[in-house]
Amino acid sequence: MCRAAYELLRASPPFSHWRLPRAEEIEFLVKRIPEYGLFETPDRIIISGTKNGRLSTLLETMAHEMAHLKLVHVDQDYTHRHPKFRKLIADICDRHGFDPKCL
């Protein structure tokens, strides 16, 4: 499901313009973590198995982690506080109808 969610988003704007790696190049782990998701390294995304019980939640979580991945791939600060990150999140939410408070 994580790979499928990633590839679905990767095929749609704005992600389709970001030149992100294919899902096969990323390790997806499902664990019990306190966060919804965790961008651990440029090739590993961890998804909470307890907090992502719906497809809509998984897609929002994956979109959030993909925004971190985008900034890492262009050598920029990928933290939540960085203005570029917040701009990416706003664009994602506008295009996909996600709630910015959830991302």
pLDDT band at 76 (very low <50, low <70, confident <90, very high): low
- The reported pLDDT for the residue numbered 81 is 67
The more confident residue out of 45 and 81 is 45
Name the residue ranges covered by the structural domains of the chain. 2-96
Residue 91 parent element (H or E): helix 83-96
For residue 41, give the amino acid letter: T
What are the tens digits of pLDDT across the range 85-100?
899 999 999 999 998 8
- Count how many Cα atoms sit within 13 Å of the Cα of residue 100 in the half-sphere of its side chain: 11
CB-based burial label for 38 (10 Å; 0-12, 13-18, 19+): middle
User: What architecture is the 2-96 domain classified under in CATH?
Assistant: 2-Layer Sandwich (3.30)
pLDDT band at 45 (very low <50, low <70, confident <90, very high): very high
